[in-house]
Amino acid sequence: MISENMRHKAVATGWLLLVVLLVSLAIKQGPAFDSSIFALLPESEQNPVITSATEQMAEDFSRRLILVVSGEQGGAVRTAVKTAASALLELDEVASVVWQVSDNELEKLSDELNPYRFTVLDEDLRQRLLEGSFEEIKARALFRLYSPLTMGNNSLIEDPFGLYAELSMNRHSHLNLKISDGLLQVPDTAQPTYMLIVNLAGDPFSFKVQNSVLGVVGNLSQKVRQAGVEIRRSGMLLHAAAGARQANSEISTIGLGSLLGIVIVVLLAFRRLKSLLLMLLPVAVGCAVASAVTLLIFERVHLITFAFGAGLVGVAIDYALHFLCERRVTDSGFVLKKILPGLGLGLFSSVIAYAAMALTPFPGLRQMAVFSVVGLVAAWLTVVLWLPLLTRQDVISELSFAIYLAKLRAGLPRLEQQPLLIALLFVASFVAAFGLWNSKSLDDVRLLQTSPASLINEEGQVQKLLGAGSSSRFIVISAASLEQCLQLEESLAVDLNMLKDTGELQGYRAVSQVLPSLQRQQYNAELVGQLYQSSLAGFYLGLKLTQQHGLDSTANLTQGQATLLSPEAWRQLKSSENWKDLILQQTDGSVVTIVSLTGEVDDVLQARLRSIVTGYEGMYYVDRVGGITELLTSYREQIVDWVGLAYLLVFLILLRRYRMQVWRILLPPLLASLFTLALLAQIEQGINLFHLMALILVLGIGLDMGIFLTESRDHSHTWLAVSLSAYTSLLAFGLLAMSNTPVLHHFGLTVLLGLTFVWLLVPLMRNATPGEND
């Protein structure tokens, strides 16, 4: 007896050391979190090129805040723009504000490409050269000379055919903007409308950045509203701030509410603070060890893992409650012996259920599986090893709460005695299954959306005004060098221009539009040479220019043909500013460029783009929104399969021990899940991933309930333990149903319904207790 006690102590100490070791190792490594939805994508489907391109696009987007200022009076609007710019520039959190173009920048902008007029050509002009429509080019040049409008520089010697005039006429920025009064004006609006682009110095998810930047903008909006000026905003910063605000308010309302509820009921039931602390200890150890091990294995813990892993509390608390309730009626030395089979089986079945997820190809699910299994084992070990030692001095005293609950339960009918109830359950199950069969599922990206509708609306207005390209749908091109990327883009442009001509594609933006490949530039120079050769003499004769003029012009051409726009020179240009973000230099020296698409991209067009892209090496079509939807769909389908498999495995294991009684354990969570899903299909828009994830939790707690009750032959204190477990989980997660964050709401609502059903179904399927007739 003594030696057994000593051994127990030694093992308990060993476990303590292991916990301390794991946690300190994890702390040493430093916590790292991942919130990118793409980290959840199966590895095989995740191309590093696409990943880095999407990350780059997201990064650019997240660091940018766009302000659109508009009002009745242009003067007031311009003043507001200037005030906003100077106020924002004062902040440390703002790296730069793009809001004005100085005279000298404008001068540079208008002339900087002139030296490259023979090698960088306007696309339409290039087409005419290719078709050999020299007469048309000549006619256009003549028209420019005699037109009352001055269109570009009419330098008859340097550029008789107005190559540069053609280029500068058609050059436009990627945003729908013009420069007026040195400010960036949005054209074609009912009211004078100007724009500012704020580049943030800090992380948009940092509270400090959110507070200072949005504080300044908010104050200003209020101030200028009196002058009839409106400021609209767009940017990740706003969504991040809205999310943080919402999370804060929900933690302080829902979170505190549920914690308070749990503490009150546990204190009421046990009437001892020590019991509450003992109950929370295994949960805390479970969470700490699970986080530590997940971090050590995966290096970064995904936030969704945490959200799901938190659900573990509900299962982990079972073991503690079960022990503490049993301890009240059993002597210190015998508790463990009595409940160990139940505890063991409970752990085993839950671990099997969760571990099944580890076999899926999804890294997200695998991480959740590791987190859950480790957490459960740690909580279980803590209960088995530490709680007996910590409760050695406690006296036996029955809990009045347990007796009260048992009475309540005794009033409920038992299923086996009520054929009507059986029939009712059958009908209900049939109706539920039928309803489910006809229900639809929902894998919309909006599930992950956390921002209020007003914000999304404001964002949409700004994007529409600016005619900005989509940051979620684009084409990625990967090659060994920039030159190769540009050449690929030029081939792709032929396809894209065809789609543009038919009106299917509104437009696109590619670096090659402003920086042609060197190969293309050389060819351009040749084409221009042909034009000069065939048309210059005739053109000059018509204008009565001398032969000397002709010689001067040809000399000019020869010099210009050799002036190629190198990528290095291009990067120095003022006009390249807005295009640089389309080039991503990879660490291995290779280059990735992005072709962004403007306007609506519908399913038909997407299919066209996908098939075009497959024709080229190293070219990919990326649809982030669709990608997320597909991701949600495949996760949902996988989870359904694995939940099914988990039930089957658990059934086989439990069958060995419980034989014909196994239905008492399995049926409650199974039916509860069915009813819950059927109800959800009716009250929500469709079944989604997060509903199903919550059902795994319902299964875990439901199984424990059935196993513990069966093991203890439906002892009153066991019933208290499982009731408390259901109740605490209900409070901890069910209350999330009130959350405004879709993910949490879906999770919470499912737990709320599911656990309520389980708790109602379990007593119906109980075994006859002594005193009750069978």
- Pick between residue 185 and residue 478 the one whose CB is nearest to another protein: 185
What distance in Å separates the CA atoms of residue 603 and residue 63, rounded to the nearest whole number?
30
- Which residue in 726, 721, 703 sits closest to 275, CA to CA? 721
Q: Give the burial class of 2: count Cβ atoms within 10 A of its Cβ; 0-12 exposed, 13-18 middle, 19 or more buried.
A: exposed
Q: Kindly identify the residues of this chain, within the stretch 137-156, that bind another protein according to CB under 8 A.
A: 139-140, 142-143, 145-151, 153-156
Looking at residues 612 to 651 of the shown chain, list those that interact with another protein (rule: CB under 8 A). none
Q: Does 107 bind another protein (CB under 8 A)?
A: yes
Residue with Cβ nearer another protein (54 or 168): 168
> Within 13 Å and on the Cβ side, how many CA atoms surround 608?
15
Q: Are strands 583-585 and 591-598 parallel, antiparallel or unpaired?
A: antiparallel
With contacts defined by CB under 8 A, name the span among 11-19, 167-175, 243-251, 496-504 that binds another protein: 167-175
Residue 259 C-beta: closest distance to another protein, Å: 58
User: CB within 8 A of 180, min separation 6: which ones?
Assistant: none
Q: Which residues of 369-390 are buried (b: 16+ CB within 10 A; e: fewer)?
A: bbbbbbbbbbbbbbbbbbbbee
With CA atoms as reference, report the closest residue to 619 among 584, 595, 587.
595
**Does position 131 bind another protein by CB under 8 A?**
no
The whole-angstrom separation of Cα 288 and Cα 286 is 6
Closest to another protein by CB, 178 or 464: 178
Selected from 79, 110, 206, 522, the binder of another protein by CB under 8 A is 110
Could you say which of 54, 119, 168, 234 contacts another protein (CB under 8 A)?
168
Nearer residue to another protein within complex by CB, 226 or 546: 546
Query: Residue 174 CB, nearest distance to another protein (Å)?
Result: 13
Residue 472 backbone dihedrals phi, psi, to 5 degrees = -115, -10
Report how far apart, in Å, the C-alpha atoms of 705 and of each of 342, 539, 605, 667, 763 are: 10, 95, 53, 12, 10
Cα first-last separation, the chain: 40
Please identify, using beta-carbon distances, which residue of 138 and 409 lies nearer to another protein. 138
Integer CA distances (angstroms), 239 to 27, 454, 503, in order: 30, 11, 33
Shortest distance (Å) from residue 569 CB to another protein: 22
Under rule CB under 8 A, residue 177 binds another protein: yes
| Min CB(175)–another protein separation in Å | 11
- Residue keyed to tokens 């509270």: 207
71 versus 286: smaller Cβ distance to another protein: 71
Q: State the nearest-atom distance from the C-beta of 179 to another protein, in Å.
A: 5
621 phi, psi to nearest 5 deg = -100, 130
Binding mask 74-103 for another protein (x = CB under 8 A): ---------------------------xxx
Beta strand 178-180 with 183-185 is: antiparallel
Q: Is 187 in the site for another protein (CB under 8 A)?
A: yes
Instruction: Report phi then psi at 585, rounded to 5.
Output: -80, 125
Residue 251 DSSP code: I
Residue 180 binds another protein (CB under 8 A): yes
Nearest approach in angstroms of CB 82 to another protein is 15
Residue from 35, 96, 170, 585 that binds another protein (CB under 8 A)?
170
Q: At what angle do helices 332-355 and 624-658 cross, to 10 degrees?
A: 140
Q: Is 171 in the site for another protein (CB under 8 A)?
A: yes
The distance of closest approach from Cβ of residue 217 to another protein in the complex, given in angstroms and rounded to an integer, is 27
- Only one of the segments 34-42, 133-141, 323-331, 707-715 lies at the binding site for another protein (rule: CB under 8 A); that segment is 133-141
What track of x and - describes contact with another protein for positions 397 through 436 (by CB under 8 A)? Answer: ----------------------------------------
Which residue lies nearer to another protein by CB, 176 or 246? 176
Farthest CA pair distance, the chain: 123
User: What single-letter DSSP state applies at residue 563?
Assistant: -
Residues that bind another protein (CB under 8 A): 101-103, 106-107, 110, 136, 139-140, 142-143, 145-151, 153-158, 168-172, 177-182, 187-188, 542-543, 545, 549
